[in-house]
Amino acid sequence: MRLAFVLFKYFPYGGLQRDMLRIALECQQRGCQIEVYTLSWQGTAPEGFVVHELAIRRTRNHARYHAFSRALQPLFAAHKIDGVVGFNKMPGLDVYYAADPCFAERMATQKNWLTRKGARNRLFRRFEESVFAPSKQTQVLMISPQQLRVYRRHYGTPEKRLHLLPPGIMRDRMAPPDAVARRAAFRQELGLRETDRLVLTLGSGFRVKGVDRSLRALAALAPEIRACTRYIAIGQDNPRPFFKLARRLGCAGQFEILPGRDDVPRFLLGADLLLHPAYYENTGTVLLEAMVAGLPVLTTDTCGYAFHVQKALAGRVVPSPFQQRVLDRELACMLTSPERDQWSSNGVAYGRTQDLYRMPQLAADIIVQTVQGLKR
């Protein structure tokens, strides 16, 4: 079985990209030949993968995406592709992995009518309809119960085409037996004292992740708390606007940005709080990764997985509509609260009892079954 895995861009530390890689590897283990079609690939491809990097140049991104989509069908025919798995919405997909929230909902609730008429947004709406419209046949791998309901409300997609998957975090995020010793060694490496507090944000796309909100909350801390608080954001984005904001707010001395990296579990064990006040987030896998490592979480209810934080009693969730003063108050509270150990142990226990790890395996099962059905 020859499968095409399609996405606009691949870089090693994006959430969608990591999910794509893990699902593709699972399909490969089932005997499938994996061919990746993309506009940009950063890093080394796994052994056995064939990566087709299409050199398409356009002035605007949405025009480039459109040209990319149109270029794929002749390639699929030439390469004798049996099934197409997409990680961005576009026409011609047999299976779509729904990592992104509903575009129609965002346009209806966040954009004015003039913006909705723009060429970019009209293209993205057409691409979304090509996947979710009732007349289409694309099987959709859903990872957010909330978004499943939103898509059905906008498009009336038949339920039989929507497959809700459990989360798929990696088991190496779970707190190991020697977590206390690893935490102490990591904090010593960073020069942190016992009384210091390390606040962490993980994930590419700092604007969507609410790093600006986090910086304002950091700046609002009482001077004696801020003096012993260090805030690190890890991910891929343009750092300049956030350094500029930190300087303006007077908290640049407590703020640091690191590029995406492979030793994230060390940071999860060594930090004191995951701060994730995202503007919107289809799921927020990092919330679960933090919880199972024993790291308390402060997030917003616009994250699809925020309900896990509440269910596990592993931190706090800021409700909508978002108010900066509420985040400020919750950050100060969580950094000084004696409940930290309880939030930590609750998250670890939740990770040991809940189904949080099987997404790639179940996704691969559905992909293979779907493509087998196409070949009959």
Residue 113 binned pLDDT confidence (cut-offs 50, 70, 90): low
User: Does the pLDDT at position 176 exceed 90?
Assistant: yes
Residue 109 binned pLDDT confidence (cut-offs 50, 70, 90): confident
Beta-sheet pairing, 2-6 with 33-38 = parallel
Amino acid, single-letter form, for residue 75: L
Give pLDDT, residue 117: 73
Cβ atoms 43, 12 nearer than 8 A = yes
* CATH number for domain 172-353, candidates 3.40.640.10, 3.40.50.2000, 3.30.70.260, 1.10.10.60: 3.40.50.2000
Give pLDDT, residue 233: 98
- Across residues 157-170, what is the average pLDDT? 97
> What topology does CATH give the domain 2-166+358-375?
Rossmann fold (3.40.50)
User: Does the pLDDT at position 240 exceed 90?
Assistant: yes
**In angstroms, how far is CA 327 from the centroid of its own chain?**
21
Give pLDDT, residue 99: 94
Reading phi first (left if > 0) and then psi (alpha if -120 to 50, else beta), residue 31 is in left
Alpha carbons 14 and 105: distance in angstroms, whole number:
23
Alpha carbons 296 and 271: distance in angstroms, whole number:
9
User: Measuring CA to CA, which residue among 4, 1, 12, 3 is closest to residue 259?
Assistant: 12
Amino acid, single-letter form, for residue 264: V
- Across residues 228-247, what is the average pLDDT? 96
Q: Please list the alpha-helical segments (H only) found in 89-191.
A: 103-110, 113-116, 119-132, 145-155, 179-190
User: Measuring CA to CA, which residue among 375, 374, 371 is closest to residue 34?
Assistant: 371
Instruction: Work out the widest C-alpha separation in the chain, in whole angstroms.
Output: 68
In this structure, what is the dihedral angle of CA atoms 216, 297, 181, 253, given to the nearest 10 degrees?
0
User: Measuring CA to CA, which residue among 79, 80, 128, 85 is closest to residue 105?
Assistant: 128
**pLDDT, tens digit (0-9, with 9 covering 90-100), for 114-156:** 666 788 999 999 999 999 999 999 999 999 999 999 999 999 9
- Across residues 61-71, what is the average pLDDT? 97
Report the chain's mean pLDDT, rounded to a whole number. Answer: 96
Give pLDDT, residue 376: 64
How many degrees, rounded to 5, is the angle at CA 1 between CA 6 and CA 359? 60
Percentage of the chain lying above the pLDDT 70 cut: 98
For the chain, the helix, strand and coil percentages under 3-state DSSP, each to the nearest 5:
50, 15, 35
Alpha carbons 84 and 32: distance in angstroms, whole number:
12
Query: What 3-state class would DSSP assign to 36?
Result: strand
> Which residues have C-beta within 8 Å of that of residue 306, sequence separation ≥ 6?
284, 287, 299, 300, 317
Residue 111 binned pLDDT confidence (cut-offs 50, 70, 90): low
Amino acid, single-letter form, for residue 77: A
User: Does the pLDDT at position 65 exceed 90?
Assistant: yes
Give the DSSP letter of residue 161: G
Q: Both tokens of residue 262?
A: 């492979």
Give pLDDT, residue 53: 98
User: Does the pLDDT at position 28 exceed 80?
Assistant: yes
Beta-sheet pairing, 95-98 with 9-10 = unpaired
> Which residues have C-beta within 8 Å of that of residue 11, sequence separation ≥ 6?
17, 40, 42, 43, 204, 236, 260
Q: Where in the chain is the domain with CATH 3.40.50.2000?
A: 2-166+358-375, 172-353
**pLDDT, tens digit (0-9, with 9 covering 90-100), for 280-326:** 899 999 999 999 999 999 999 999 999 999 999 999 999 999 999 99
Q: 10 Å Cβ neighbour count for 323?
A: 11
- Across residues 243-263, what is the average pLDDT? 96
The partner residues of 258 in beta bridges, in order of sequence, read 234
Packing angle of the helix pair 61-78, 119-132 (nearest 10 deg)? 40
Alpha carbons 254 and 218: distance in angstroms, whole number:
9
Handedness of CA 26, 134, 76, 371 (dihedral sign): positive
Q: 10 Å Cβ neighbour count for 39?
A: 18
